[in-house]
Structures are given as C-alpha cells and as structure tokens.
Structure 1
Amino acid sequence: MGARICTGTVTTEAHQGEWSAAVSGRDDTLYRSGSPGGNVLPSVSGLWSERGPPCNRIKASPVQPTTNGRAGRRDSFAMGNSALKAHLETAQKTGVFQLTGKGLNEFPMDLQKLASSLRTMDLSGNKIEILPSVIGHFAVLKSLNLNSNKLAVLPEDVGKLKKLETFHLNSNSLKQLPSSFDQLAALKTLNLSGNQLREFPLQLCRLRHLDVVDLSKNRIQRLPDELEQLQAIELNVNQNQVSQISSNISRAPRLKVLRIEENCLEISMIPTSILADSRISLLAVEGNLFEVKNLRDLEGYDKYMERFTATKKKFS
C-alpha cells in the first residue's frame, strides 16, 4: 500500500500545569473565538484508534464499492426528480443549495441553471466520485462542502472559483490537488482531513488570504521549506506521518497555531526556531516519539512560553 511505517515508542503522559497546555493543544479556547482568523479547529487528542498512532501502523485505503452506470443513475435520482426540483427552487430563492446524505453518485447537473447566483453548495455525505468541470461556472460561489464523498481527483476548473472562501473536502480519497488550486484567491478556510495526501500541497503557500488549514488524517511525511510563505493563522497536520519539519516554518508570517499531534517526530527534529523566533503561540505535539515535557529543555522554550501566556491572557 506504500504507507510509511515509523518505528519507536510513543510516550504520552497526563501532564499538569500551564506548560502542558502550552504544548499539548489542550487549551483550545485560545483561538476558538475572537482571533483574527475566526474559528480554528480543536485538538483531536485521544481520538486515534486503539491500534496506536499512524507511525506505528499502515493506513489502509477504504474499499470503494463499484456500481455499473445504470445502478449509479438509479441511486443518483433515488430521491425523485420532484424532490430535486424542490431543492433547486429553494436554492433559486436563497442562493443556498443543500442536498446531503442522499446517496447521490453524480453531481446534479441541473445545478448549472443556478451557476450565476448560487453562493453556497452543500453536497456532503453522498457518493459522488467525479466533480465535473462545470463546477468552474459557479462564479459567485463562496462556500462549497463536499465532505464524505468518494472524490479521488479534483478538476483544474476549481481554480475558476475566484470568490470561494470556504472549501470542505474532508473524508474523500484525494492524493493531490490540481495545479490551479493556487488560483482560489479568496479562500480563507480549507478542510482536507481524512484524505490520502502524501505531500504538503505547495499550492496552499501561494494563497494570500488563507486563515485555517486542516490537513489532519492524511499521510504527509514532511513539512517543506516552502512553508515560510504560508499565510495561514492555523495549520493542523495531526495524525499524519510527519518526521521532518523545515526550520523555515518559523518564518511563516501569520502562523500562530501549529498542531502536529500523533505523528512520527523525534524531539531532535523539532526546529528550535519554532520556539525562539516564530509567531507560534500554540504548539500541539502530543503523541509523537518523545515525552512532551522534554520540550522544556530546548533552546527558545522560555520565549515560546511568553507568547503562549500573553495570548492566553489576551483571550481570557
């Protein structure tokens, strides 16, 4: 299956005191509200399976059931054309189309009629395998939710969604993003948790208005040099296979929350510049290949704690 397995013993403890909250990600109230980036994603500590952290197991790909074209069409319209028509009529009035958990195998092509007016589209919890190129016609779309479908690729046409601010793609089967993804000039929130990404998508480093990025539960192994260009306020790479972090991440101009829980990090692989020289004021590293309390011995830890404490006071 190609999934990398790291070796080593993962040590986690029940830590007490402010320093523990500062590095464990347990104090999620710091940026939950009132922050420049709005809501950020809570820690997922404790949610991994009983089989252990991702560096100690192979992450199997979900089995995708197959259907022939005829069966797929029957499933897509199982809800009935009259019901779909009712949803379309509502969307025409409100600018919001929501059709979730209906077992759709195909993108509802009738939505093209609303391409010039639709602002919100929610097709989460279906069985859509292909996002057609017509998605690029939705010129005023601001929010697109495709969580929990069966998407393996995205068309290059998604880059035409110039007004898109929120993009939810959790729990699909994406292995990479299209090259046009860096053209989503208005994008602020991106959720890609639970896919099959093996590398950090460098397109994200070219998005100027990005605030929150969730890449948790993928297969990413390293955080590259290009992250110095990332504009996000929060980056979540929990439950990946990260074993290397470029020190350049400390130069990310707005990064304040970095979640790297349940990965494959040795303490020697954490750049001290993250502690001493970055803007990061919440570093979550539980569930890696070291005891969290040992962070206190790293150069720059005192400076990190000053930022953490100042931020906690600001939002308390």
Structure 2
Amino acid sequence: MHTLEQLRAGQLAGLRRLTLSCGLADFPREIFDLADSLEILDLSGNALSTLPDDLPRLHQLRIIFCSDNLFTTLPAVLGSCPALEMIGFKANRIRHVPAAALPSRLRWLTLTDNAIEALPDELGKCGQLQKLMLAGNCLSHLPASLANCRQLELVRIAANRFTALPDCLLALPRLSWLAYAGNPFTQARELAALSGAGTAGVAWPRLQLAQQLGEGASGVISRARLDGCTDVAVKVFKGAMTSDGLPRSEMAACVSAGAHPGLISILGTLDAHPQGASGLVMPLIDTAFRNLAGPPSLASCTRDVYAEGVRFDAAQALAIAQGIASAVCQLHAHGIVHGDLYAHNILHADGGACLLGDFGAASMFAPGSPQGDLLQGIEARAFGVLLGELIAHCAAPLPVLQAVQEACLQEDALRRPQFDVIERQLLEMFPA
C-alpha cells in the first residue's frame, strides 16, 4: 500500500504497481508522473466515480482495479488505453457498460456485484477475452456476439436474473469453468436441496472457535470444537455475495453432493450465528493434506501457479487423476457441476490421496438432459487442463494419461468423455 504523500513527494518514481486506498474522491494527477513505468494501478476502496479523460497517457498501463468505489458507469476512457488487458470494477454501483469502455486487448473483465442489466454487443469483438466475472448483477441475457470470444475459458454469471443458460456460452470451444447458480432457473433445485431431509443444522452455541485456518474470497475457515468433544472446521461466509455467487448456492451444492472419499464433506449448515452469517461445518482435514497448487496470478489469468520445482512421481499423478475423476463423477451423478475444477481447490497428501473442495462456483443441473451433457463436457475440459498440469509436473512420461487429456480437450464439448467413462478408463489403465 502506498500513500498520497509519497506520490506527491516524488518518492515513487519508476513504480510499476501503485496501490492507493485513502478515501480518494478525485483521481490524483500526480499518477501521470509514473506514465513511463506504471503497469498496474489499484485504486480500490476509495470514493471515485470518474476517471480522467487523459487516462491513456498511462501508456504502459495493463491492469486497473477500481473495486469498492462509487462508479455508476464503467468509464468509457478505459477503451482508449493502449495496453490495457485487465479491468476490475467489483462492488461499485455500475448500471451502464458503454461499448467504448472495452479495450481491444481485453483478457480479464471483472464487474462482480454491481447493477448491470445489459452488456454491449461489442463485447464479442474482444477476441482475447479469457475471463469474464459478472456474478451479482441484474443480467437476464448476454449478447449473442459473445460466441465470437473463442478464447473465453472462465465465466461467472451466478446471482443474476437469467431464466435459462445463455446459448452463446454453451458453444464456446475453450469454456472450462462456468458458474451460474443463484439465478431464477436454478432456484427451485437449490431450495429443494436446502430444505431436504438430509440437511442438518449446527447451532452456533454448540461450537467453540479456536484458531483461524484460512481465508478465501468467500469466507473465513476456523478450527472449532463441536459439543466440546469433536474437532471440526467452520466456514463462515463473509457476506451476501462472493466473486463466484451466493453462499446459499454453495451450501445447496455441498448438501446435495453426498459422501465420497474424494470430496470434502460437510457435517451441516451453520444455524443461529450471532450476526446472522451463513456457514458450513466440516470435518477437520488432516494436516498432511496441502494445496496442489496456488490460484491463477494476474499474469497466468486462467492457469494455476505451481510451486517452483514441484514434481510428482507417476503413481502420485495417476492417483490424483483417478481420485478427482471419481469425485467429479459423483458430483455429476447428483446433478452438480463443480465450476472451479482447479488444482488450487484440491488438497493432496503424499502417495496421491486427494480431496476436492470449495463449492463456491458449483451449480446444479438436470442429469440426463441435453444441456446437462454439455455442462459435463465443459467440466471435462477443466479436467483436461488439470491432467496437462499433472503431466507437465511428472518426473516420468505418461503417454496413456495424455490420451485421456487430449480427449477432454476436444473442441466439441459433446465429444468429450463424461466422467463415468473417464473414471472407468483410468481404473482400467491403472488398476489400484
């Protein structure tokens, strides 16, 4: 975090990334003194409602974040910034997205938690677009031109006003991670899951919280003791909206998933929180388990980041592939797509034992329906990406596993294998 005083004193000359969060109501003109070096500008957490018309003077600017401000319109000047690739305006008051605001080099657009009712047809001209984050708006349709964004891989349209999945998404050849829960067409399934007989509630007074174990975009996970005798993990959601969707949708998917050795299960949903927060109570995971990778970076966009030098032996890689295929097969059989099938949502231990968690982007579908087949094909592509990463970080060649990967990455989603087939193939190739 930098200060306005540092900027005005000339102490930030040559800076590539500037972060200012100090109640700004106006854009500090001194930022233009960094025009020859500044690549990332983060003005989140201020009171801005406009950007200057001469913003393109920041000719090196690739990334701009203006989340948690007071914008009602996405500034049109953004489209004139020559190097701009990433735009993040989460949690503003944006209702209007002008076509002029979309730069030709756009790869990543985050407009989560605003009030947008429509997007311009010109979005389909952003041929390099890979990541589109639109959860928590008022959208009921997407421009048909979006079908032209053939590099688009990750889409979040949860918690909007869609009465059906937009057809333009289902034909995208590289789409791999899709979240659409919390819309009118998913509401009945989610409510039925949460009101089902298998939904157990755990009252807050039964829990004695201990240390915090982790924190993500959607909530805080802490260690706790249930009824004074059982160690558990408790996830308390931070608010009504996450980058992926609604806590209610995540809880519905968790409740519906059923028990499986490769899934992080839940003991129940949280009741009677003193601040009314939603949450989940889960078994405590053995400390031998650790994340398979880190989440995507600003540079990698849609690809996870693995620790430098990480290597798996063939047995580990195959065990992870089998375990995750089996877990996803269970989800699909219960009418759930994970929506975020990534290595950073997988915990693994030595020997290849693994657990798939984080249902924040999970969505429900009708098993056996044509649309359900397409959705499972989209998730198969995510699995193909994961297999490619395992192969790349394996100490030995895995040509047979590569054949499964190639099948999952076919351009036509309906030609990709479903997970019951994938699981069976992996077991036949590499019996336990």
Fold-level match, TM-score > 0.5? Answer: yes
**Counterpart in the other structure of 1:204:** 123
1:174 Cα deviation from its structure 2 partner: 1.2
Moved more, 136-145 or 239-248: 239-248
Structure 2 unmatched runs, 5+: 188-335, 340-358, 388-432
* Aligned residue among 105, 129, 132 for 1:186: 105
Alpha-carbon distance in structure 2 between the residues aligned to 1:82 and 1:300: 55
- How far did 1:283 drift? 7.0
Per-residue deviation at 1:218? 0.6
Q: Give the deviation of 1:307 after TM superposition.
A: 5.8
Structure 1 counterpart of 2:34: 114
Aligned partner of 1:298 in structure 2 is 369
Kindly indicate which of the two structures has a greater share of residues assigned to strand. 2
1:187 deviates by 1.8
Backbone CA RMSD of aligned residues: 3.2
- Deviation per residue, 1:43-69 (Å, 9 max, x gap): xxxxxxxxxxxxxxxxxxxxxxxxxxx
In structure 1, how many angstroms separate the alpha carbons of the residues matched to 2:375 and 2:52? 46
Shift of 1:200: 3.2
Whether contact under 8 Å (1:165, 1:188) holds in the other structure is yes
SS of equivalent to 2:33: helix
1:175 aligns with 2:95: yes
1:33 match: none
Q: Distance in 2 between matches of 1:303 and 1:121?
A: 38
CA deviation string 1:23-57 (max 9, x = no partner): xxxxxxxxxxxxxxxxxxxxxxxxxxxxxxxxxxx
Q: 2: distance between equivalents of 1:80 and 1:250?
A: 45
Alignment of 1:8-87 (within 5 A): 82-86=5-9
Distance (whole Å) between structure 2 residues aligned to residue 155 and residue 304 of structure 1: 34
Which 4+ stretches in 1 moved above 6 angstroms?
A: none
Asked if 1:312 corresponds to 2:232, the answer is: no
- Match for residue 162 of structure 2? 242
TM-score by length of 2: 0.45
The alignment status of 1:223 with 2:145, answered yes or no, reads no
Please state if 1:89 is matched with 2:11: yes
**CA deviations over 1:170-228 (Å, ceiling 9, x no partner):** 0111112222234x122211111011100134332211111111011111012343232
Measure the CA separation in 1 of the matches of 2:381 and 2:144.
28
The residue type paired with residue 298 of structure 1 is S
Q: Structure 1's 307 and 113: CA in aligned 2 closer, same or farther, altered over 3 A?
A: closer
Cα distance change on mapping 1:226 and 1:243 into 2, 3 Å: same
Q: Which amino acid aligns with 1:315?
A: L
- The CA distance in 1 between the partners of 2:374 and 2:184, in whole Å, is 25
**Structure 1 counterpart of 2:19, one-letter code:** Q
SS state at 2:64 partner: strand
CA distance 1:83–1:266, change in 2 (3 Å): closer
**Conservation of the 8 A alpha-carbon contact between 1:173 and 1:195:** yes
- Return 164-173 or 244-253, whichever deviates more: 244-253
Q: Counterpart of 1:141?
A: 61
In the TM superposition, residue 266 of structure 1 has moved relative to its aligned partner by 6.2
Distance 1:253 1:306 in 2: 10
Tell me by how many angstroms 1:163 deviates: 1.1
Q: Choose from 255, 263, 275 the match for 2:183.
A: 263
Counterpart-to-counterpart distance in 2, 1:80 and 1:247:
46
Deviation at 1:116, TM superposition (A): 3.2
Higher relative contact order (CA 8 A, sep 6+): 1
How many Å apart are 1:133 and its aligned residue? 0.8
Q: Distance in 2 between matches of 1:303 and 1:221?
A: 21
For residues 107-154 of structure 1, the C-alpha deviation after alignment (integer angstroms, 9 at most, x for no partner) is 111212222331111111011122121212211101111111111124
**CA contact 1:224–1:245 (8 Å) conserved in 2:** no
Distance 1:309 1:143, change over 3 A: closer
Letter in 1 for 2:182: E
Distance 1:179 1:223, change over 3 A: closer
1:252 corresponding residue in structure 2 = 172
Aligned partners of 1:254 and 1:170: how far apart in 2?
Answer: 25
Which amino acid counterpart does residue 123 of structure 1 have in structure 2? L
Contact 2:120 2:143 in 1 (8 A): no
Deviations 1:280-316 (A, max 9, x none): x9675x99xxx946x1131364565466356436526
1:152 correspondence with 2:72:
yes
Where do 5+ consecutive residues of structure 1 fail to align?
Answer: 1-78, 268-280
Answer whether contact 2:112 2:134 (CA < 8 A) is retained: yes
- TM-score by length of structure 1 reads 0.60
Matches of 1:201 and 1:138 in 2, distance apart?
25
Distance in 1 separating the partners of 2:180 and 2:378: 18
CA 1:84/1:113 → structure 2, altered by over 3 Å: closer, same or farther? Answer: closer
- Give the share of equivalent positions with the same residue, in percent: 22
Distance 1:313 1:114, change over 3 A: closer
Note the C-alpha offset of 1:161.
1.2
